[in-house]
Amino acid sequence: MSPPPSRLLILGSGFAAVTLLKHLRAKAYDVTVVSLRNHFLFTPLLPSTTVGTIEFRSIIEPIRMARRNITFLQAVATSLDLKERTVSCANAVDGRVFSLPFDELVVAVGTVNNTFGIPGVEQHALFLKELRDARRIRQRLIDVLERTSSPNIGKEELFRLLHFVIVGGGPTGVEFAAELTDFLEDELTRAFPMLVGSVRISLIEAGQQILSSFDLSIAEYATRLFNRRRVNVLIQSRVERVTDTTIVLADGSSLAYGVLVWATGNGPTPFVTGLPFEKDEASRLLTDDHFRIPGFEGIYAVGDCATIRGRNLPATAQVAMQEGKYLALRFNRRGQGIPPDRLRPFRYRHLGMLAYIGHNEAVADVAGHKSTGFSTWLFWRSAYLTRLVSWKNKILVLFDWTKALLFGRDVSRF
């Protein structure tokens, strides 16, 4: 009689977890997935949904459809009991708590927005991590445009409300600034012509350059394009405090704003913070080069919440996907009775970096070759289109792009 399948518990539904699921030959495992999000979200295209270039449901895939014959539970993992080998969870809808036993555990819970504890940010800023964040931004954007179209609005209030501020010049902040600028340039003249000339966008970055993970020449190119499109790029400007109407910088100056989007990077989830494992200075779980937590048999960590000791892997989709695939290979070997430890250590293959900077232009750094402009934008679009996980998503995104090109973006408020 063959032994009962090993109970494999996967926490998370992002790039690492979903790639693992897709490549896992599940026969030898009894798989349970727990995640707060019951769908996979293609985050590289999330900024496009904030302004309606792409519709929300075009970039998600329900986990229950992504893989058959698994148990999925929409819940948050709250704590780990190492002695009992169980994870405590709370249902995402009603908060009811339960506990799940495991033989093998994969922690792939990702990260949360990092506000660095800056006063006022949690209360007043919008974020861009989940689909609900993108929906809030789109709603707020249209709310502001409708509000400022009112004939009885004062000039000072009009200018404040129409000042859109993005804090954080990493890829998230830059791609959102790019989409917002496109939206305002294209749709304002069509739908709100009286507001043209009153809108301002500021992108605030604490460091020496925006897009710091790219080459300086690329960052300068993006800054020049933003400046040409009248986006005020402020570098070496650290936001220290936020009120409901004002942003205060470290040099004491302040800016009045109407919509504030906060994109200063990510930090650990409360679950990861509470785990008794070793972490790096960014609070990521430290693993060996097989993604095992050293000293804890059968516990693995992949994706943005972890990194291999001594190798500062970037928190990107391509890293998470390669890690998920490697871990699936390891589990598959084991399922076939092949010793998984003989698998050669994980090696990350960097495929390059891409970012959209607006006006049908993108920047790329692929295999040491740097490029910018319209042809890079075509490459950016085709690269993301081919990486979307399902045919349904590919068709929907292609349809949304065509619709936005022919008819503009929808500005309905409901």
Nearer to ligand NAI, 179 or 205 (CB): 205
Least distance (Å) from ligand NAI to the CB of residue 301? 17
Query: Shortest approach of ligand NAI to residue 365 CB, angstroms?
Result: 9
Mapping DSSP to helix (H, G, I), strand (E, B) and coil, where does residue 112 land? strand
Distances (CA, A) of 225 to 220, 228, 356: 9, 5, 12
> Which of 76, 210 has the CB closer to ligand NAI?
210
Nearer to ligand NAI, 89 or 260 (CB): 260
For the CB of residue 104, give the shortest distance to ligand NAI in the complex, in Å. Answer: 28
Q: Which alpha helices (DSSP H) does 238-350 contain, by range?
A: 270-274, 317-335
How far is residue 213's CA from residue 319's CA, in Å, rounded to a whole number?
Answer: 15
Tell me how far, at minimum, the Cβ of 355 lies from ligand NAI, in Å. Answer: 4
**Can you say whether residue 329 is alpha, beta or left, with left for phi > 0 and alpha for psi between -120 and 50 degrees?**
alpha
Nearer to ligand NAI among residue 8 and residue 54 (C-beta) = 54
Minimum distance, C-beta of residue 336 to ligand NAI, in the bound complex (Å): 35
Q: Which amino acid makes up residue 59?
A: I
Q: Which residues bind ligand NAI (CB under 6 A)?
A: 116, 118, 167-173, 204-207, 212-213, 238-239, 263-266, 314-316, 353-355
Contact criterion met (CB below 8 Å) for 13 and 63: yes
Q: Other C-beta atoms within 10 Å of 9: how many?
A: 27
Smallest gap, in angstroms, from Cβ of residue 356 to ligand NAI? Answer: 8
Tell me the residue nearest to ligand NAI as measured from the CB. 170
Q: Which is nearer to ligand NAI, 105 or 118 (CB)?
A: 118
374 and 361 in contact (C-beta within 8 Å)? yes
> Is the Cβ of residue 48 or residue 266 nearer to ligand NAI in the bound state?
266
Task: Compute CA distances 303 → 9, 57, 58, 147, 216, whole Å.
Answer: 15, 23, 23, 41, 27
